[in-house]
Amino acid sequence: MDARAMTMTRLKHPMKRVGFVVNQSHPAAPELVRLLGDCLRARQIEFFGEADGAAGLGLTPAASNEVFEEADLCVALGGDGTLLRAARRLGDREIPIFGVHMGALGFMTEITVEDAAALLAKVVEGDFTVQRRVKLDVHLASRRLGTVLNELALNRGPRARIIDIELAIDGRFATRFRADGIIVSTPTGSTGYALSAAGPILDPALSATLITPICPHTLGLRPLVVPSQSQVELCLRFDPDDSSALLTLDGQSAETCVRPLDRLRITRARSDVLLVRNPNVDFFSILRSRLGWGCRP
């Protein structure tokens, strides 16, 4: 069995409750919510949306975030940012996410608007396949900051000075360098911020962690891939100017200020994210579509 097949799971799990996470700014969102809602209503499946804006989409507002954690399925309508928000809503619960592509790039949202209703009908009847995606746990000293599906980014602070970073893997010193910052990402996140920083594209079936420096002041420093079981530790070294740095998780959480001698610890999370697969596409067809591979200028 190849590595990609090992990340796939075929489920036979009828759905009773479905939560919606929607990019409300998309003009086609209300009509798609109505269409998918009709599919669920016809099967007597309860469905609801995020409290903020649910009523405007014809959805019952969720009383609390715990309601999402009790759902059998989460439907994310939008781009990768919407799917990342859905993953955060679900916390550590391994609830399948049905991602419909309505964004600009959308490497994670495999399902097209045209296929959404027909595929959702199969999914709620329990006939679908999911792919497991690795997440990372992030700790600052002894405090757990959260988990990421894409990446954490440590960037220089508001003073726009390069920062001095020490990198250790599994407790062993790896290197120390000065740069604008550093990105630690999952294979899923390799097509996110890390791609813009000249990092490699990793197949999401891999069990690995990608470390990508941002504009390093060292020509020999290149992106590094380590096993996902490895512990990655970052330390902002002492700077006479006391330059701090800003930490962002999945581009969604509020920035956290990291000060000199603070230590960040990144490990594989105990739970994964389950993404419902579209049987009509694969990872490489998505890359061709989103990145324009094979298209002549």
Task: Report the chain's mean pLDDT, rounded to a whole number.
Answer: 90
Q: Does position 2 have pLDDT exceeding 60, yes or no? A: no
Among 2, 38, 52, 80, which one carries the catalytic annotation? 80
Are 73 and 19 contacting, i.e. CB atoms less than 8 angstroms apart? Answer: yes
Tens of pLDDT, residues 255-294: 788 888 899 999 999 999 999 999 999 999 999 988 988 7
pTM of the model: 0.91
Q: How many CB atoms lie within 10 A of CB 184?
A: 24
Q: What is the pLDDT, as a whole number, of residue 267? A: 98
Q: 80 catalytic, yes or no?
A: yes
**Phi, psi of 144, deg, nearest 5:** -80, 120
Model confidence at 219: pLDDT above 90? no
Model confidence pLDDT, tens digit, residues 170-216:
999 999 999 999 999 999 999 999 999 999 999 999 999 999 999 99
Q: Would you state the pLDDT for residue 1? A: 45
Q: What is the pLDDT of residue 240?
A: 59
Query: For residue 211, which of 193, 219, 3 has the smallest C-alpha distance?
Result: 193
C-beta atoms surrounding 225 within 10 Å: 16
- Output the pLDDT for position 253: 66
Query: pLDDT tens-digit profile of 90-149?
Result: 999 999 999 999 977 789 999 999 999 999 999 998 889 999 999 999 999 889 999 999
* SS3 assignment, position 279: coil
Residue ranges of domains in the chain, CATH in brackets = 3-134+272-291 (3.40.50.10330), 136-268 (2.60.200.30)
Reported as a single tens digit per residue, the pLDDT across 9-36 is 666 667 899 999 999 999 999 999 999 9
The average pLDDT across 68-94 equals: 92
